[in-house]
Chain A
Amino acid sequence: MKKTELIMGMPITVEFANKSATRHFKTVFDYFKEVDLRYSTYKTDSEITQINNGLPKSKWSSEMKTVIALCEQTRKETSGYFNIRHNGKLDPSGLVKGWAIANAAGLLQENKVSNFCIEAGGDVQVNGTDSDHRSWTVGIRNPFNIEEIIKVLAITSEGVATSGTYIRGQHIYDPHRPKRTLTRVKSLTVIGQNIYEADRFATAAFAMGEAGIKFIESIPNLEAYMVTDDKMATYTSGFERYAANV
């Protein structure tokens, strides 16, 4: 039982292994719509837009204060690579997506739904098993051909997030800075105990370039799979336990 809606500018897909859970499609999608209303920097009446227009901190919702504090914590944990301040404005959307998926998963568990898969814009959180009572399988997209997958993960409670630059392509000529070196890292997939952890560290580690995978290696409970422009993959020491035999 699978359903997709377009929210927060991206397709969000929820799959339940059991028919009895389908009434909770609405629970999940309503939650994402609420998050969008509060955190969308493209909506003129969202709380984050009001904050960027000068709403004093004393009037921020407590949830917003929590999210901004989580962003600040992530900034410190990643030596500043994760930063939501751009041109004097706050944009927490790099954290909100993973955070919202994790919260949606929490809502399902509160409602006694234990076998589900939520995917939002390429970020995934699973729990339990699929309708065949097997581990959920998550393909890692080939950054050189977005219609292919290059790895299959079999997981039952983890989150998976990928950062990358598929769209720009490696060799698009930049006439303004023709001599600069373009990044070698095409995509970086991170597996964490939940999507919140996986997503925020994938975002920050990707910004570190090739050092990103070493950064992930150094953090307990995170594994990563990095694809570089030589069509090689580099992966962390504990990654293989999540790889499915295909």
Chain B
Amino acid sequence: MKKYVLGIAVGLIFLAYTTVLRHQHSEPVLAPTTLGQNNSTNQSASTTANSTTSTPTTTNSAATAQYRDGTFTGSVENAYYGNVQVSATIQGGKITNIDFLQSPDENPNSIYVNQQADPYLKQEAIKAQSSNVSTVSGATFTSSAFIQSLTSALSQATQS
């Protein structure tokens, strides 16, 4: 049950995280404090997790006092084209930073690609389209691996 509630809390943090990313037009560096302090969604996530833990470590705010301070390394999760592993840093009971220790950018193999394919490719600038569609295709893999690894990091932060 505790694990389940923690999962929901991580999901909410994750939503807050994607909300933050969505509003970053020029893709700036993720500020170390965004996750822990600036987002009301995250506050509700903190409250949820708090209800599962009987030993808050700080007393200044009931809503943000559920995690032990420190840096916690999450599990390595398979994102199919590579591994994802994060570490979460907690200060004053809040998540102050998330680092990617591993991310699926590095390609282990080389591949023969027919250079003749090049001339056939075409390009265009992307632009938003407003249209009713039956459904939407988009990526999910990295995000689920991210959630798994972060859940594992935060579960360590709640162990007393």
Q: Give the size of the chain B interface in residues (CB under 8 angstroms).
A: 57
A213 to B114, CA, bound (A): 11
Top 3 closest pairs, chain A to chain B, by CB: A164-B139, A141-B138, A207-B81
Contact B143 A237 (CB under 8 A): no
Contact A208 B27 (CB under 8 A): no
Given contacts A122-B139, A214-B113, A246-B129, contact A169 B24 (CB under 8 A): yes
Q: Give the size of the chain A interface in residues (CB under 8 angstroms).
A: 86
**Cβ–Cβ < 8 Å partners of B99 in chain A:** 174-176
Contact B139 A163 (CB under 8 A): yes
From residue B56, how far is it (CB to closest CB) to chain A in Å? Answer: 29
- In the complex, which of the residues B81, B121, B134 contacts A138, with contact meaning CB atoms closer than 8 Å? B134
Q: Is B157 an interface residue (CB 8 A)?
A: no
Contact B129 A172 (CB under 8 A): no
Nearest B residue (CB) for A148: B128
Given contacts A145-B128, A168-B100, contact A211 B137 (CB under 8 A): no
Total number of residue pairs linking A and B with CB closer than 8 Å: 216
Question: What string of 1s and 0s marks CB contacts (under 8 Å) between A158-195 and chain B?
Answer: 00111111111111111110001111000101000000
Contact B137 A141 (CB under 8 A): yes
Q: Is B37 an interface residue (CB 8 A)?
A: no
Contact B113 A87 (CB under 8 A): no
Contact A166 B29 (CB under 8 A): no
Contact A204 B81 (CB under 8 A): yes
Nearest A residue (CB) for B145: A167
Nearest A residue (CB) for B82: A207
The residue in A124, A136, A149, A240 that gathers the most chain B C-beta atoms within 10 A of its C-beta is A149
**Cβ–Cβ < 8 Å partners of A82 in chain B:** 80
A208 to B113, CA, bound (A): 10
Contact B78 A86 (CB under 8 A): yes
- In the complex, which of the residues A122, A182, A214 contacts B114, with contact meaning CB atoms closer than 8 Å? A214
Given contacts A119-B135, A139-B133, contact A237 B122 (CB under 8 A): yes
Contact A218 B117 (CB under 8 A): yes
Question: What string of 1s and 0s marks CB contacts (under 8 Å) between B112-127 and chain A?
Answer: 1111011011111111
Given contacts A122-B137, A213-B121, contact A149 B128 (CB under 8 A): yes
- B interface, over-half SS: loop
**Cβ–Cβ < 8 Å partners of A130 in chain B:** 134
A237 to B119, CA, bound (A): 9
From residue A3, how far is it (CB to closest CB) to chain B in Å? Answer: 13
Contact B136 A207 (CB under 8 A): no
**Cβ–Cβ < 8 Å partners of B113 in chain A:** 208, 211, 214-215, 218
Q: Is B159 an interface residue (CB 8 A)?
A: no
A53-61, A105-113, A225-233: which lies at the B interface? A225-233
Contact B129 A167 (CB under 8 A): no
Contact B139 A166 (CB under 8 A): yes
A162 to B112, CA, bound (A): 22
22 A-B pairs within 8 Å (CB atoms) are namely A79-B112, A93-B80, A122-B136, A122-B137, A124-B137, A136-B135, A139-B136, A140-B137, A141-B138, A166-B21, A167-B17, A167-B146, A168-B146, A169-B21, A174-B100, A204-B81, A211-B113, A213-B121, A214-B114, A217-B117, A217-B121, A233-B123
From residue B141, how far is it (CB to closest CB) to chain A in Å? Answer: 6
Contact B139 A138 (CB under 8 A): no
Q: Is B140 an interface residue (CB 8 A)?
A: yes
Q: Is B160 an interface residue (CB 8 A)?
A: no
Given contacts A136-B134, A168-B100, contact A142 B128 (CB under 8 A): yes
Q: Is A234 an interface residue (CB 8 A)?
A: yes
**Cβ–Cβ < 8 Å partners of B129 in chain A:** 139, 148-152, 246
**Cβ–Cβ < 8 Å partners of B136 in chain A:** 119, 122, 138-141, 149
